[in-house]
Amino acid sequence: MTSRQYISGLEKLGLLVLFLCFFSPVDAQQTPKYLDPGQPVKERVKDLMGRMSLDMKIAQMCQYVGLAHMRDAEKNITEDELLNGHARGFYKGLHSSGVERMVQQGLIGSFLHVLTVEEANHLQELAEQSPLKIPLLIGIDAIHGNGLMSGSTIYPSPITMASAFAPGMVEKSFRQTALEMRASGMHWAFAPNIEIARDPRWGRVGETFGEDPYVVTQMGIAAVRGLQMDKFDKDKSVLACIKHLAGGGIGNNGTNASPVEIGEGELRNVILAPFKAVIEQARPFTLMPAHNEINGVPGHGNKWLMTDIARNEYGFKGFIVSDWMDMEALSQKHKIAPTPKEAFRISVDAGVDMHMHGPGFLESIKELVAEKKLSEERINEACEKILEAKFMLGLFENRYTSKSDQAKIVFAKEHQQTALDIARKGIVLLKNKDQILPLTAGKYKNILVAGPNADNQSIMGDWVFEQPRENYRTVLDGIKSQSAGSKVNYVDVGWNLQTLNTDSIAKAVKMAKNMDLIILALGEDSFRQHWKEKTAGENRDRMDITLWGKQQYLVEELKKSGKPVIVVLINGRPLATPWIEENADAILEAWEPGSFGGQAVAEILYGKVNPSGKLPITIPRHVGQIPIYYYQKPSQYSHPFIDGAKDALYNFGYGLSYTSFKYSALNCPGNSKYGEPLKVTVAVENTGQMAGEEVVQLYLRDDFSSTTRPVKLLVGFQRVHLQKGEKKTVSFSLEKEAFGYYDSRGKYVFEPGSFTLMAGGSSVTKDQIFQKVTVDN
CA-based torsion, 581, 584, 589, 591: positive or negative: negative
Phi/psi for 712 (5° steps) reads -170, 155
323 is catalytic: yes
Please report, for residues 243, 304, 554, the alpha-carbon distance to residue 295 in angstroms, rounded to integers and kept in the order given.
19, 12, 44
133 beta partners: none
378 by DSSP, 3-state: which?
A: helix
Which of 660, 210, 220, 594 has the alpha carbon at shortest distance from 429?
A: 660
Instruction: Show the CA angle centred on residue 436, arms to residues 433 and 437, nearest 5°.
Output: 110
CA-based torsion, 79, 83, 86, 90: positive or negative: positive
85 by DSSP, 3-state: which?
A: coil
Mention every residue, 6+ apart, whose C-beta is less than 8 A from residue 634. Answer: 708, 711
Contact between residue 300 and residue 363 where contact means Cβ atoms under 8 Å apart: no
Dihedral angle of Cα 317, 318, 323, 328, to the nearest 10 degrees: 80
Contact between residue 646 and residue 748 where contact means Cβ atoms under 8 Å apart: no
Contact between residue 206 and residue 572 where contact means Cβ atoms under 8 Å apart: yes
Contact between residue 507 and residue 471 where contact means Cβ atoms under 8 Å apart: no
Q: Which helix (H) or strand (E) holds 695?
A: strand 692-702
Contact between residue 546 and residue 509 where contact means Cβ atoms under 8 Å apart: no
Mention every residue, 6+ apart, whose C-beta is less than 8 A from residue 290. Answer: 195, 243, 244, 245, 246, 247, 248, 257, 299, 323
Q: Quickly list H helices, 358-398.
A: 361-370, 376-392
Which residue in the list 55, 199, 212, 323 is annotated as catalytic? 323
3-state secondary structure 494-521: CCCHHHCCHHHHHHHHHHHCCCCEEEEE
Helix axis angle for 413-426 and 167-183, nearest 10°, is: 150
Contact between residue 536 and residue 573 where contact means Cβ atoms under 8 Å apart: yes
Dihedral angle of Cα 531, 536, 541, 546, to the nearest 10 degrees: 130
Q: How many alpha carbons fall within 13 Å on the CB side of residue 100?
A: 14
Task: Classify residue 360 as exposed, middle or buried by CB count within 10 Å of its CB (0-12, 13-18, 19+).
Answer: middle
Q: Which helix (H) or strand (E) holds 603?
A: helix 597-605
Q: How far apart are CA 667 and CA 753, in angstroms?
A: 18
Distance, C-alpha 726 to centroid of its chain: 36
Which amino acid, residue 708?
T
16 beta partners: none
Q: How far apart are CA 233 and CA 231, in angstroms?
A: 6
Dihedral angle of Cα 606, 609, 614, 615, to the nearest 10 degrees: -50
Which of 662, 660, 697, 667 has the alpha carbon at shortest distance from 682?
A: 667
Contact between residue 423 and residue 594 where contact means Cβ atoms under 8 Å apart: yes
Q: Which helix (H) or strand (E) holds 64?
A: strand 62-65
3-state secondary structure 397-416: CCCCCCHHHHHHHCCCHHHH
Looking at the annotation, which residues are catalytic? 323
